[in-house]
Structure formats: C-alpha cells, structure tokens
A and B are shown apart, each in its own frame.
Chain A
C-alpha cells in the first residue's frame, strides 16, 4: 500500500518570500490508547503563504482539529506519537521543546478555539487575559498594555472597551466572547492564525459577523489563516484554498474556486449535497452520508471512504488511492473513480444498476451534479 507524497506542492509561486510561511510535510499524529493506536492524522501535507487562507474541512473524527493542534504542537507528550515535519518560516518546529515553542505560541502562531464560553478563564478579568500575553511576549508595561488592549477590543468590534476590560467573561454574550478570544489571539501580532471551528458554538446570526471579522483582521494584518470547520458553506468565498480531510488524511485539496467547480472526490460531493439549499422543496429528504466515520485504530483497507461511497467499486475496497494532481494545477485528489470523469460516471451508473455499491451500500437514482453555492 504505497502512497506517493506529492512534493510538487512546492511548485506554488511564492508571494513575498522564497520561504513559505508554513510547510507541513507528511505529518502524522497517533495516540496510544487502550484500544490500540488511533491514527488521528495520518500523513498530511499542506502549505500556506503569508496573507493566505486555507480552509480545512471535514466531519468530526476526520482529524481536522487534531491537525491544527498538532501543527501548533499543543498536544500532550504522553502517549502521543508525532512524526513528519512542520516547517515554519523554514525551521522545522516539530522537534522543538516546550520551552522553544513558548516563544512561538502567541507571538508567531495563535489559535481561536471553538467554544468561547470554555476557552476564557471564568475567574479572570478580560483585560487581564489580554494584557497578559502583551506583557509576556512584547514586554510592554501595564499602561502600554492596557492601551493596546483597548485598541484591540475596538478593532474586533466590541463597544465600550474600557468597561469591558474590567468585566468577566460570563458578563458578555457568546458573540462578544468570541470577539475577545480573537482579540487575545491577535494581541501579539502573530503571522499565522488557526481558527478552530470559530463559529460552531455561536448563533447563526453571529456567525457571519465573526467570520467577516476574521477575514478583515487577516487582510489588515497580512496574516495567514487556517480555518477549520465541518461546514463547507463557511469556507466558500472566504478561503484561498481548501483541504478536505477524511479519516486522518487529506482526500482533496484545491484552490477554492476549482474545488467547487470541479470537485473530484465523491466525499466532497457528498458533503456539498448534504447541505440543505433554499431552492429545495420543504419536504425534500436531506441527503445525509450513510454510515459512520472510519475506525481510526483499524482503518479499512483500501480507500477510507469506500464503505460509504456511492461510487465504490471493488478496487476501492482493496487499494488505497494515492494523492494525485488533476489537470487543473494545484488541485489534488485521492480517488480511483473521481466525480465528473468518465470512469467515475461509469462506476456510479454500474452501482445504480446493481442497486448497491461494492461495499453493499444501497444506491438510488438521485442528482449527481451539486449546484454551485
């Protein structure tokens, strides 16, 4: 079961320096548990330039959250196997000690977490939580730090910042709290921001605001951003590139427009199909993806997605597809019978005739071409 790691991702045109901001090469993160070794991230390679946004999309259990924590090096040491390379501005930080990472965290890379209620210290005032890193990393004195904190709060759109500084997290609404966590993350001017499902815990009305805020901050600071989410809708139109993860691996990766126009991976197609659209009739059944995410301790032979894929053929169950580049540059995918190709159409037709896939998943006739979002 050989996998070809595509090093041609390095053929991307660099923007303002010849060294990429972030280059992750074949990152693996495995956890030793009682049940066995969980291969949460199993050979992922991505790149990112300064000022660009990468969206990482996947279901829960796809490894997307572990990926961002692993890149940042925030995972515990015990029972965690972390291999591969993480080149940040040319330096491989995978071997860095905790002490070395501490000068990276906050100052170079930082993270916005999913749930603002639990990611803010409930017994510490907001101002303190912001000024702490300013004093620590940028060696500001209290007055300076306070001024900076005030302007940070304004720039993330929090009204009456002076008052807010003295308040506690529970006194703010969910959206405001998330703005605060963004302010904290941006405080020391990091070059790379990880946004880990930043809107999942928020009301729908607030989600767009927060995403806009992130985008705006990113543009102003010329910051790179990795936006992790399970929602394709979130990344459409807000990212430069998208990486779709499944079962700990990247199964499709492309510039955003190319992904939506020409998706190759049936999984991506299924993800898109599962989003209910306004044009649908009100009683239309939602197209959920049948089955469950793969067991990361004993991943299936062949393609990880085959047990649930509408296009699955015999080959999919035995041979794991390698990541290959399509005719569109920068568009990589991992599939034997990709969507929109003659092989793919053929495979699907065969399955529909049989009534089931090679993995015995029932298949019915239904629209195959996803509409543009």
Chain B
C-alpha cells in the first residue's frame, strides 16, 4: 500500500509540474488572446476589457492557480477562436484518439505475436532472420512516409480503404473500422516491429531456461511447451512496452490524425498551436499528460497480475 501511495504522490507532482510548465511556456508566446478574441475590428477598449475579464493582467503564478482551480472542476476555458468550451471539444475528440490507439495496438499484436512465436521456435532459421530484417527496415520508416505510401497503395491505387473520413462506431461499425484502418495500420507498423523483436528475443531467452528443459524432459509437445510454459514468462517486457506505448501514443497520434483528417485529440492540439489558440492547447496538453501518467500507473499495477512473485512481494511490503 505504501508503494501505491508513493506512486500516486509522484503522479500528482509530475502533473503539477507539467501543467505549470506548459502554462508558463504558452504565456511566453507572441499573440494575445484578448487580441484574438476582439478580432481585427475591436479597438484598444475591447482589448483592455477582455484582458481584465480574463484576468490576463495578473501575475503568472496567480493565473496558474486560477486555471488549476478551474481545471479541477472541469472548466478548461474556451477557445479564443470559436468560443467552444475546451473540455467539450476534448470530450468529443477523445473517443477517436482512443479508438485509434486500441485499433493500432490490436493490429500490431495480431501480427507480431504469432510471428514472434514462429521466429523463436526456429531461432536463427530463415523465417527468423527474414522477419528480423523486415522488422528493422519497417522501424526505420518515418510514420508520415508510411502513411503516404499506404494511402497511395490502398486508397489511390487499389481504392479499398479511404484516405479520409470518419463515421462513429455506434453509427456504422463496419465503415468505422474501414475508415480507421489505414491510420491504425500506419501506427501499428512501427509497433509491430518493436513488439516482434521484443517478444522474439524474450521467447528465445526463456527457451534457454532450465524449466523449459524440464518441460521437455516431461515429454510435452513443443507446441504445449511454447504456448503454456514459455509464452507467459516472456510477455513481461512486452506488456510493459504496450502499456507505455498506449500512454505515449495518447499524444503521439497527431501526425496520423492530421494526415487522415481525423478529429482526434492530437489534431486538436496541433490546430491550436498553429492557430495560436492557446487555451485549447493548454487543455489538450493537460489531458494528454494526465492520460499518459495514469496509463503508466495502470501498467505498474497490472504487472502484478502477470507475475505472481511481485504480487506476493507487494503484499508483504
């Protein structure tokens, strides 16, 4: 329990630091929110009025605390450009990003796990060497390049999957999955390569362990040994990396979102940055950071489920 408490404290501290830092940075920016709100037409008066209204003339720490207070209650302010409440906008866009995340992880795992198992079974063989090389090459493809290539092949030439467009999952599941396929695949390819290498290496290492030799000496079939004995202990690193990836990708989907014109969280923040609309950026960054930290926390906790030794050690702590 002490362990959990310590983690929570760390979590909160980091969140505070992150939010303050981004608040600070955003305020270094050129561009005046009040100005933007007033538009080109509004004169000095308007700017002055808005400045006072929004409390923009107060010292930074004060404004931060004010913001923090609002944020905790769910008020992240409103966009200067279209007056839309930030929290509302984010709530609308979160599902897209999250679905994209999950979709890409599923795709990556569905390919990586079987391939890793086959590669590890015949370590050093042709399949292993070829798949390792291919994985390495795929890792070197920048994701926007991959997106372009995928669009060229599947959307432009073969016309199987669309390059843009999005329907809600609830409205039309099939179309939704089709729409998100290329973006999810773009993200998945890099993950696939990482997972493949990671799992394969761990499987090979596990297969050298004594207890695998013991299982063999019991006369069990190779398939059973691989799936029942070797697989689970080899997934520790993989699970951790998956978890960390999920956390990281919460803020990392933006290029894909921009390319495929998906209204997700990442694109929201990017639009804000480009359009000098800082309140949404602040809100977006906060949500991303919170998500990231929470996911990491969950990974740590979940790890105990996989490894019974940690569970028991923890219980004693």
Direct touch of chains A and B (CB < 8 A):
yes
Residues in A lying within 8 Å of B, measured CB to CB: 72, 74, 78, 98, 101-107, 110-111, 113, 115, 118-124, 132-133, 136-137, 168, 170-171, 181, 184
Q: In the bound complex, how far is the Cα of B306 from the Cα of A181, in angstroms?
A: 23
Q: List 14 A-B contacts (CB under 8 A).
A: A74-B216, A104-B219, A113-B210, A118-B209, A118-B210, A120-B214, A122-B211, A122-B308, A123-B306, A124-B229, A136-B219, A137-B219, A168-B308, A168-B309
| Mask: chain B, 33-64; 1 = CB below 8 Å from A; 0 = not | 00000000000000000000000000000000
What separation, in Å, do the CA atoms of A285 and B268 have in the docked complex? 79
With a cutoff of 8 Å between Cβ atoms, the chain A residues found around residue B124 in the complex are 78
Residues of A close to B214: CB separation below 8 A: 111, 113, 119-121, 181, 184
* Known contacts A102-B219, A106-B217; A123 and B307 CB within 8 A of each other: yes
C-alpha spacing A168/B308, complex, angstroms: 8
Query: Which residues of chain B are near A111, meaning CB under 8 Å?
Result: 214, 217
For the complex, what is the distance from the CA of A216 to the CA of B216, rounded to whole Å?
26
- Cβ contacts under 8 Å, B306 to chain A: 123
Known contacts A121-B229, A124-B229, A170-B312: A115-B216 contact under CB 8 Å: no
Q: Are the CB atoms of A121 and B211 closer together than 8 Å?
A: yes
The answer to the question of B221 belonging to the interface, with a C-beta cut-off of 8 Å to chain A, is yes
A132 and B221 alpha carbons, distance in the complex (Å):
12
Give the docked Cα–Cα distance between A123 and B229 (Å). 9
**Chain A residues within 8 Å of B232, by CB:** 123-124
Q: What is the total of A-B residue contacts with beta carbons within 8 Å?
A: 74
Known: A118-B209, A121-B229, A122-B211. A170 touches B217 (CB 8 A): no
Residues in B whose Cβ lies below 8 Å from that of A74 = 213, 216-217
Q: How far is the CB of B301 from chain A (nearest CB, A)?
A: 18
Among candidates A98, A122, A136, A171, residue contacting B233 with C-beta atoms closer than 8 Å: A122
Residue of A nearest to B214 (CB): A119
Do the beta carbons of B218 and A184 come within 8 Å of each other? yes
Residues of B within 8 A of A170 (CB): 308-309, 312
A157 to chain B, nearest CB (A): 20
A124-B229, A168-B308 as given contacts; A119 in contact with B211, CB under 8 Å: yes
Size class of the contact patch on chain B: 20 to 34
A72 to B214, CA, bound (A): 12
Q: Which chain A residues border B221 with CB–CB below 8 Å?
A: 102
Contacts of B98 in A (CB 8 A): none
Residue of A nearest to B229 (CB): A121
Given A111-B217, A133-B220, A170-B309, output 15 extra A-B contacts at Cβ < 8 Å. A103-B219, A104-B219, A111-B214, A113-B210, A115-B210, A120-B211, A121-B211, A122-B309, A123-B233, A124-B229, A136-B220, A168-B312, A171-B312, A181-B214, A184-B214
Across the two chains, which residue of chain A brings its CB closest to B206? A121
Shortest CB distance A116–B (Å) = 9
- A118: contacting residue among B211, B219, B308, CB under 8 A: B211
The answer on a CB contact under 8 Å between A113 and B213 is yes
Chain B residue numbers with a CB within 8 Å of A122 are 211, 233, 308-309
Closest Cβ of chain B: how far from A373's Cβ, in Å?
31
List the A side residues contacting B217 at CB < 8 Å. 72, 74, 105-106, 110-111
Q: Does B11 contact A (CB under 8 A)?
A: no
Mark out the residues of chain B between 83 and 139 whose CB falls within 8 Å of any chain A CB in the assembled complex: 124
Specify which chain A residues have a CB less than 8 angstroms from the CB of B308 in the assembled complex.
122-123, 168, 170
Chain A residue with minimal CB distance to B125?
Answer: A78
Give B299-317 as 1s and 0s: 1 = Cβ < 8 Å from A's Cβ atoms.
Answer: 0000000111100100000
CA distance A45 to B213 in the complex (A): 25
Q: Which residues of A contact B213 (CB under 8 A)?
A: 74, 113, 119
B215 in the interface, Cβ–Cβ < 8 Å? yes
- Quote the shortest CB–CB distance from A261 to chain B (angstroms): 36
Taking the nearest CB of chain B, how far is it from the CB of A143, in angstroms?
20
Q: How far is the CA of A111 from the CA of B232 in the complex (A)?
A: 24
A118 to B215, CA, bound (A): 12
Chain A residues near B219 (CB, 8 Å)? 101-107, 133, 136-137
Distance from B277 Cβ to chain A, minimum over Cβ atoms (Å): 50
B216 touches A121 (CB 8 A): no
Q: How far is the CA of A168 from the CA of B313 in the complex (A)?
A: 13
Closest Cβ neighbor of A171 among chain B residues: B312
Cβ of A101: which chain B residues have Cβ within 8 Å of it?
219
Which of chain A's residues have a CB closer than 8 A to the CB of B307? Answer: 123
